[in-house]
Amino acid sequence: MNIKLMKSPKVGNSLLVVFTCSDKIKPENVPFGNQFEINGSKEFLKELKDSGEISGKKGEMTLLHSLLIENFTFNSQHLDEKLHPKRILFVGLGDSKKADNETLRNSAAQIAKKVESLSLTDFSLIIESSSLGDVKESINSISEGLMLGNYSFDEFKTDKEKTISINAELLVGEIKEEYEKALEKSLITSSASIKARNLVNRPPNVVNPEYLKDFSIDLANQNEKLDIEIFDKNKISDLGMRAYLGVAQGSTADPYGIKLTHLGDPGNKENNIWLIGKGITFDSGGLSLKPSFGMIEMKSDMSGGAAVITAMEAISKLNPKINVVGLCLATENMPDGGAQRVGDIVKSMSGKTIEIENTDAEGRLTLADAVEYAKQNGAKQIIDIATLTGAMVTALGHGLIGAFGNDNNLLDTLKASGEITGEKIWFMPLDEASKKQNRSKVADIKNTGGRPAGSVTAAHFIGEFVGDTPWVHLDIAGTAMSSSSKGWIPQGATGFPCRTLIETVLRLQN
Ligand code: BES
Ligand code: MN
Ligand code: ZN
């Protein structure tokens, strides 16, 4: 999808898309009477409205052919040209007062799918402030919806469905710099989210730790302002990351630590945030082997890492005035003869000893060392993102990211960002009672806390290593993958919460 802003549409365009709102359709006018007049067709359109075919209700689509449009007026701009698009598509948004970012994003995704099913290569879409509100926000949401809704993953299909490249023109009447900026930002954030989806959707025999490392090196090479450092097995060992290495030791694939840096405020090192993504490229469970039905989704166990790596590229492009470090300690969790045993005790980078009660609780082990590394290197704020617990899916299902943390400002910023991006966040507790469940009889802490409050004890485990540093943990086990396509969210990898991380960093800059 190529999206650009236009003052007015190309005459003779193949499709013109017009939003309608249920509360704007009045008996005395045709739905779009305030936007333009359609030559000689008023009665015809009124009939469509009276018969209920154009009502403006959410999700409604009405496709008409060959209408000559005169007197085109929107956003207080009057256009002299007559328009004669081959087709005109009316798309209902429902009540305009309730039409928010999410409504526009979903409608735009619906439009992208319709255009594709019509095999069209270009279309124009009217962005009109009187029904949509703030134009730059509308541009952002619509562009994201077109990009994210147009996504499909067929890299591994031999007979690919022919994908046509679609040119979309957003008609804004007048082109302002702030509009261009909004479009540019949306293209950067949605491209990042799409890259994250691809990383997660690709199979685990392709996306292994080495692949994530090479992918990240490529990103850093393509983006001048994005720095990279790679930790190989020797370096990981020298750093003392024995909790991370314990997870990696059951696999023939070498682990790689990936550290990406955006130096947005070089003079003020304290102005920083660390984004730490879980990077288990395949989670078999290790010796505490998962049942087959639970293993099929485990190529997605690097979704947090994918979101961090791709968000870092977007962040370096958007260049906020804050130092951001993205860290992903990538490994497989496999059960070979050298694998970590149940009952092993490992010494983490922090010096704390950990009893391994279940090798399938591997994410928190890698995160414990990542958090310690961040603290030793001056982290002032930390967000970790992980497909951490099945219990998170039980608690919140597939529509909400669970957020745990010790800092209300960071929690609130993430939540507000998620409201804007549509990657919704729900606050979860870190109560003292469940913290006790992680106590070990033989080591400083153990890596499972039993069945009750499984996502809370997992968060507590990470919290033990975080200490007082402002921190939020996002458990994305329920939201990284979607079983079906819903609006701008495709079946398969969702790209969550890549765009929310970017938005949060932009809001935290100073
Ligand atoms: N990667 C899984 C969590 C997961 C489950 C993610 C379902 C996405 C969908 C994690 O490593 C795991 O296995 N967690 C265990 C922890 C338990 C052993 C304490 C779980 O949730 O069962
Ligand atoms: Mn696991
Ligand atoms: Zn896992």
**pLDDT tens-digit readout, 443-487:** 999 999 999 999 999 999 999 999 999 999 999 999 999 999 999
CATH number of the CATH domain containing 337: 3.40.630.10
- % of the chain residues with pLDDT over 70: 94
Catalytic residue among 290, 299, 317, 499: 290
CB 5 within 8 A of CB 170: yes
What would the pLDDT profile of 320-378 be if each residue is shown by its tens digit? Answer: 999 999 999 999 999 999 999 999 999 999 999 999 999 999 999 999 999 999 999 99
The mean of the pLDDT values for the chain is 94
Q: Is residue 384 part of a domain?
A: yes
Residue 195 has pLDDT above 90, yes or no: yes
> Are residues 231 and 146 part of one domain?
no
Q: How many domains does the chain have?
A: 2
Residues 231 and 374 in one domain: yes
**Do 80 and 222 fall into the same domain?**
no
Phi, psi of 272 (to 5 degrees): -145, 160
Catalytic residue (one of 195, 364, 415, 499): 364
Q: Label residue 48 by pLDDT band (50, 70, 90).
A: confident
**190 three-class SS:** helix
Q: Do residues 214 and 282 share a domain?
A: yes
Which ligand number lies closest to the CA of residue 392?
1
Question: Structure tokens of 265?
Answer: 């405020």
Read off the pLDDT of residues 109-136 as tens digits, 9 standing for 90 and up: 999 999 999 999 999 999 987 778 899 9
Q: What is the pLDDT of residue 488?
A: 98
Does the pTM exceed 0.85? yes
Collapsed DSSP state (helix, strand, coil) of residue 430: coil
Q: Which atom of ligand 1 is nearest to the CA of 389?
A: 21
Residue, of 34 and 55, whose pLDDT is higher: 55
Identify whether 290 is a catalytic site residue.
yes
Strand residue runs (E) in 141-218: 167-171
Average pLDDT, stretch 3-13? 81
Same structural domain, 211 and 351 = yes
The pLDDT score that the predictor gives to residue 271 is 98
Query: Could you tell me if 340 and 250 are in contact, meaning their C-beta atoms sit under 8 angstroms apart?
Result: yes
pLDDT of residue 9: 75
Distance 346 CA to ligand 3 centre (A): 18
Q: Answer yes or no: do 197 and 162 share one domain.
A: no
User: Do 152 and 210 lie in a common domain?
Assistant: no
Does the pLDDT value for residue 30 go beyond 60?
no
Task: Tell me what pLDDT residue 40 has.
Answer: 58
Instruction: Report if residue 178 sits inside a domain.
Output: no
Regarding whether 272 and 164 lie in a shared domain, the answer is: no
Is there a single domain that holds both residue 160 and residue 209? no
pLDDT at 368: 99
**What CATH number should be reported for the domain holding residue 74?**
3.40.220.10
Which pLDDT band, with edges at 50, 70 and 90, does 318 fall under? Answer: very high
pLDDT at 27 over 60: no
Residues 339 and 398 in one domain: yes
Q: Which residues line ligand 1 (CB under 6 A)?
A: 283, 297, 301, 358, 360-363, 387-391, 393, 448, 454, 477
pLDDT at 63: 94
| Band of residue 36 on the pLDDT scale cut at 50, 70, 90 | low
DSSP for 5-31?
EESSPPTT-SEEEEEE-GGG--TTS-T
Residue 497: is the preceding peptide bond cis (ω within 30°)?
yes
Burial class (CB in 10 A: 0-12, 13-18, 19+), 503: buried
The arithmetic mean of pLDDT across residues 151-172, rounded, is 90
The answer to whether residues 484 and 491 touch, using CB atoms and an 8 Å cutoff, is: yes
Mutate to test the pocket of ligand 1, among 388, 462, 496 (most ligand atoms within 8 A of CB): 388
Domain carrying residue 260: 186-508
Helix (H) or strand (E) holding 117, with range, is helix 101-117
User: How far apart are the CA of 221 and the centre of ligand 2, in A?
Assistant: 32
Q: Is residue 147 part of a domain?
A: yes
Please check whether residues 269 and 400 belong to one and the same domain: yes
Separation between Cα atoms, residue 23 and residue 62, nearest integer Å? 17
pLDDT of amino acid 46: 78
Torsion angle of C-alpha atoms 28, 34, 40, 45, degrees rounded to 10? -60
pLDDT of residue 131: 75
Got the DSSP string for 213-273? Answer: HHHHHHHHHH-TTEEEEEE-HHHHHHHT-HHHHHHHTT-SSPPEEEEEEEES-TT-TTSEE
pLDDT over threshold 80, residue 492: yes
Of 135, 150, 172, at which residue does a domain stop? 172
7 is a domain residue: yes
Domain boundary among 120, 143, 172: 172
pLDDT value, residue 200:
99
pLDDT of residue 169: 95
Does 111 map to a domain?
yes
204 — pLDDT class (breaks 50, 70, 90) = very high
Residue nearest to atom 13 of ligand 1 (CA): 360
Distance of alpha carbon 239 from alpha carbon 312, whole angstroms: 24
Between these two residues, 336 and 510, which has the higher pLDDT value?
A: 336
Q: How far apart are CA 276 and CA 388, in angstroms?
A: 13
Instruction: Note whether 39 and 166 are same-domain residues.
Output: yes
